[in-house]
Amino acid sequence: MGIDLDDAADPAARAMEWLVLGAAYFLLILFLIGVFDLFVSLYRLLVTGDFTDPVEVVGLLDSVLLLLIIVEVHRTLVAHARGQPVLRIVVSAAIIAASRRVISYRLDEYATVEEALLAAVAIGVLVLALTVAYFLLDRVSVPGRLEL
């Protein structure tokens, strides 16, 4: 009487599903805290009059994009738990993360103009590649991929 590998792997797979769901709920709590913090930051900007300062506004946009990244990672975890495809969600999260980097890009973070230019080109190429990949997901047929 041998041990069936599928039966032996079932408890590990079930535990992983619960851990994925636990991570999804943890991200939900982080999102709620982030939304509260966003409203507090917006209130502070309005009270102090800093809402006209571009650096403060970019900081607020950075927080919004971080919340969107949390939403996308949460969607990825939930889709994975449901057995749905996650590639499109992962690519969209990467686009949001790269866009966040574009918005928060500052020349004074780099020691030389060449470093700043190289970083800008690299970020641009990354955004372009991710955008092309996002649109190719619908147009390319991959063997074995679930079609919804």
**Cβ neighbours of 75 (radius 10 Å):** 19
For the entire predicted model, the pTM comes to 0.76
Question: What's the pLDDT score for residue 147?
Answer: 52
Q: What's the whole-number average pLDDT of the chain?
A: 87
pLDDT band at 148 (very low <50, low <70, confident <90, very high): very low
CA distances, 140 to each of 111, 127, 133, 146 (Å): 42, 20, 10, 12
Size (the chain), residues: 148
pLDDT band at 142 (very low <50, low <70, confident <90, very high): low
pLDDT digits (tens, 9 = 90+) for 88-139: 889 989 999 998 888 888 888 899 999 999 999 999 999 999 999 999 987 8
